Every structure is written in structure tokens, then in C-alpha cells.
Structure 1
Amino acid sequence: MPLLKTVASVVVALPGAGSDAAFMAEVFGPAAAALGLPLIPVDPDPRAVRASYEQALDAAVQDAGPVIVCGFSIGSHIGAQWASEHQDQCAGVLACLPAWLGDPAGAAAAENAKHTAKLLREQGLGPILADMRAGSPGWVAERLARSWTAQWPGLPDAFEEIGKTALPTEAALAALRIPVVLGAVRGDPIHPVQAARRWLGALAKGTLVELDFAEVGADPSRLGHAVFDAFAELAA
């Protein structure tokens, strides 16, 4: 593990659709702290998700030097694409719950994002929050209610952007020469394990960690510890 402190100065964590920095701190914070690496969890600008993530990454590099990029869902997508274009400034990528590769058309996560944006514009936040709470596991609903409320009224813009983000490209993944760890959660229909396996097939230096949905729900930091452990082995 001490090796990671020599290759990176800071960890930047990018959340998924409608999520927030607080959840990224839950997932990746304990593992980063155990390594003595500062964590920068990023809150998205709901009206410019990709741009806000790229600005946060650029600022972290300017302030601290090489980064480890951690992502969750769309944060993984944007982070991996950025890393492919900044390999001299990135020590590695920890990409959790990727949802598609390249064109998002037909992917469950992209279709869900577009549908959610439509419903939010038609019905407002209150009814959609109630439906989300009724249809989601408690640990998911609690965290999304917090972040969705904070990102309103820009939230529909965020979901619309996410639903049409054709990143990363397969060429971008194939170009990566830095270590990439993929984290998948078995039993998640929005982020199928098969999507992570497609990413893995395109990578020159990658590995895949799989956990059960119940494990992550009981303690989200288990996912962070698992991908950091795998990254330490891959980078050694």
C-alpha cells in the first residue's frame, strides 16, 4: 500500500447520476484515509456534469500533482475518459459501476436517466422522490433524497446530460496504459456486471472486483476498500 503514496498525491472521487460528494466520501474515504491520501469528493454541477468533473480533476492536478481518479457510475465514465487524455497526470482509475461502453443507447442506466428527467420536468421533485423512496432499497433512497433535493431544480438537466454521454469510448479505454480497477455489484440491474466486463476486455492493464449488492448496502466503504486493494496489487 505505501507504493500508492509515491505515485499519486490525491484521490478525486466523482459521483454517479444525481449523487453527491458525501456518498463518495462514504465509499472511498476510509480506504483513502488508510493510505494517507487526501480525498477530494466532488459535488456535480447538475447543469454541467461533465464540465464540473473535468474542472475538479484539472484543479486537483494543478494544486497537488498526479491523481487517482475514483468514479461511480457516470463518474467512472467521465473519469476514465479524462484519464485517457491525461495519462501523465493520472496514476490510475478506480471505476465503480460502469453502465455502458461508448454509445449509451439502450443501456438501462441511460434509459432510466432520460425517463427520470422527463418525469421530473412533468411532475416536479416531490412526487418523483416519493416514487423513488417506494421503489428503492432504504440505503439508496436515503442518500438520493438528500442529493436530489440539493441539486434541484437543475436535476433534470443532469439526467438528460447523463443519458446521452457517449463516454468512455472503446478507443479511450484501449489507449490507457495506467492501472484500471473496475468495481461491479452483482444484482444491480442498472449497472450490470457485463458492462464492467466489456470495459475490462478493452483495457491493457485492468482487473475486476465484484461484490454483492447487500454487501455494499450494509457498508458502502467495502467497495472502496476492495477496489483500492486491487489497485495496490495491480500497480505493484
Structure 2
Amino acid sequence: MRPMVDLVGRTAVLLPGTASDEVFVRTVFEEPLTQLGLRLTAPASASVEEHLAALDAAWTGTPLVVGGVSLGAHVAAGWAVRHPERCAGLLLALPAWSGPAGEAPAALAARASAGVVERDGVDSALVGVDGWLGAELSRAWRGHGPRLAGILRAAAESGAPTPAELGGVAVPAGVAACTDDPIHPLEVARSWASALPRAVLRTTTLGALGADRACLGRAAVLALLAAATATRAG
């Protein structure tokens, strides 16, 4: 992975998904970003409002690479729609819907989990969630304490950028998805990559992610690199 002059030295502010945490973000993105010559900032934010505040706080006058996982990708892309002059690039992993959440699988899952947490507690909400995903959610969800159900519900009601809005963000964008993830459908990632004027999509699998969290970050970073290279070549 050869660093590009346009990106090397930039700060990448990457946000976690719904009720996830900055630990997961660092595990996914730190190694591939270091190889590209970017500095990772992974805020310990959870709600949409906290994500936006973290992006605003990171802005010091120099364009940022922004993005995140799932809800974090939604919030970062929406921030880029509103502040295109503040963005040097996008890293968007596992987008879950476009526009209103509606009945998107990730929104339905968040609402259902919130109900179980409120009624029976975190342990019950995690029953049947095994392996690496169970371990990640157990750590992150317990870290949110009594805020967890509210965070899940608010995320499920939040909007993502529409394709038309994404069409106005003319910076290089790397979009990453898992081909076998029913909660973050590949078709959503494809639609985001099609809507963004300078985007490339790369994929991995949930099995690969379980063995190596950084495979998702590498997919996004390689997609960003390809998008930036294509832009320069053009």
C-alpha cells in the first residue's frame, strides 16, 4: 500500500456503529490507516449528537478524512454532505440504509434489542450472539451502561444520507461491505458507491472479519486509495 501525497499526514476521524465503541474502530482501522500514512482519531462517542460534536471538534481548518462503521458511516457522510469543504475523503464501512431508517434490517434489530435490554437486561439481549460478535457486543454494550437502550432506539430512528445527497459529495470515497451480512446488506453499499461521484466499493466477509477485524478497514482503505488514484489518473 503506497501512501498518496493527497492523503498522507491527514487525520481520519472514524465513528463507531450503533452501540459499538472506539475499541472496535481502532481494531478495524488503525493498522491499514497507518500503512497509508493517516492518523486515526476514534472518538468515544455513541449517539448521533456525540458523533457530530466529535467531527466538529476535530475540524481545525484542514480537511479531514471522515467515516465510520454502520451508523458512524451514516453520520460522517451526512456531515460531509453539509460541510464538503471540510472533507478530504470518506471511509464508509457497512452502511445500513439510505434516507429514513424505516424497516431496514439494522433498524429492526436495534429496536428489538432495545426492547429486550429494557425488559430483561443486557445478558438476555446477547443470548444466541456467539463468537467474535458476541464478544464485541458484550464489551461495548456493557460499556454504555443505562444509556444502552436509548442509544439503540435513537439510532434506529436516525436518517442516513439519500443517494441524491451523496451525489453532491465529490471527494474520493472508499466503501466497504461484507457480502454475507444480512444486517448491512451489500446492496446498500453498492447504492452508496454508485451515488457518490468518486467512490470505489471493496468487499470482505463476516467470516474473514471474525478472524481479522482489520480486513474490513483494509477493504475500505484500499477502496479509498483506488478512488483517489482513479481521480488523479483521470
TM-score between both structures, scaled by the size of structure 2? 0.92
Aligned-pair identity (%):
35
Q: Say if 1:79 and 1:14 are closer, same or farther in 2 by CA, change over 3 A.
A: same
Moved beyond 6 Å, runs of 4+: none
1:82 counterpart = 2:79: yes
CA separation of 1:185/1:102 partners in 2, compared to 1, >3 Å: closer, same or farther?
A: same
- Distance across 2 between alignment mates of 1:6 and 1:138: 35
- Following superposition of structure 1 onto structure 2, how do residues 66-77 of structure 1 map, counting pairs within 5 Å? 66-77=63-74
Amino acid at match of 2:104: A
Give the secondary structure class of the aligned counterpart of 2:59.
helix
Specify the SS of the correspondent of 1:189.
Answer: coil
Aligned length: 228
Matched, 1:201 2:198: no
User: Alignment RMSD, CA only?
Assistant: 1.6
For residue 139 of structure 1, the aligned residue among 132, 137, 151 is 132
Question: Relative to 1, partners in 2 of residues 1:233 and 1:154: Cα closer, same or farther, differing over 3 Å?
Answer: same
What's 1:105 paired with? 102
Contact 1:26 1:220 in 2 (8 A): yes
User: Using the alignment, how far apart are the partners of 1:232 and 1:198 within structure 2?
Assistant: 19
| Higher mean C-alpha displacement, 35-44 vs 103-112 | 35-44
* Shift in alpha-carbon separation, 1:22–1:174, aligned structure 2, 3 A: same
Do the aligned partners of residues 218 and 108 (structure 1) sit closer, same or farther apart at CA in structure 2, a change above 3 Å counting? same
Taking the aligned partners of 1:33 and 1:201, their CA distance within structure 2 comes to 28
Cα pair 2:202 2:222 within 8 Å, conserved: no
Paired position in structure 1 for 2:232: none
Structure 2 residue 206 is matched with structure 1 residue 213: yes
Gap runs ≥5 in structure 2:
230-234
| Letter of the 2:21 counterpart | D
The CA deviation at 1:178 is 0.8
The 1-side partners of 2:183 and 2:9 are apart by 31
Cα distance change of structure 1 residues 5 and 22 upon mapping to structure 2, 3 Å threshold: farther
Equivalent position amino acid for 1:107 in 2: A
- Seen in structure 2, the aligned counterparts of structure 1 residues 6 and 120 have a Cα distance that, compared at 3 Å, is closer
Find the counterpart in structure 2 of residue 57 from structure 1: 55
1:181 aligns with 2:174: yes
Amino acid at match of 2:148: L
| Match of residue 89, structure 2, among 85, 89, 92 | 92
Q: Is the 8 A contact 1:13 1:69 kept in 2?
A: yes
The 8 Å contact of residues 176 and 202 in structure 2, kept in 1 or not, is answered as yes
The AA in structure 2 aligned to 1:59 is A
